[in-house]
Amino acid sequence: MLVRADIYDRNCPSRQVLDRIGDTWSVLVVASLAHGAQRYTQLARRIGGVSPKMLTQTLRALERDGLISRTVHAAVPPRVDYALTDLGRSLLRLVGALEEWAETHMDDVLAARETYDTGAREIKAQALRSQA
């Protein structure tokens, strides 16, 4: 089924795709799988702060969208590997660029936040003084 994409239309499926690939946990899972298949525990260790529930939901959603594959190996204990599909690998340049941008501009963003927060505190203090 071919659907005309319009990311600005709230009912367009492309909006759901954007939500998926722009989600923090999805970006980190895709980046973590860039160099090959990994087990759930490896992903959980690599992605600091992700809860088991959120990692499981993210992996299921990425698998449903065809971005990762899940391979169950007949072993004791059972072993499950996650890997990027061709579709998932097509995101690597984009995800890599996001990762690089975030790490390169982290100090700039933190400085901007500090400037904003300082200004907001000053405005609030002025408002309180004018009420007194």
The 10s digit of each residue's pLDDT in 50-77 is 999 999 999 999 999 999 999 999 888 8
My answer on whether 96 and 115 are in the same domain is: yes
Averaged over 114-122, what is the pLDDT?
A: 87
CATH of the domain at 21: 1.10.10.10
Please give the tally of structural domains in the chain. 2
Is the confidence at residue 11, as pLDDT, over 90?
Answer: no
Say whether 6 sits in a helix, a strand or coil.
coil
Prediction pTM value? 0.84
My answer on whether 121 and 60 are in the same domain is: no
| Range of the structural domain that residue 112 is part of | 91-132
My answer on whether 85 and 96 are in the same domain is: no
My answer on whether 37 and 98 are in the same domain is: no
My answer on whether 68 and 107 are in the same domain is: no
Residue 77: cis peptide before it, omega within 30 degrees of 0 = yes
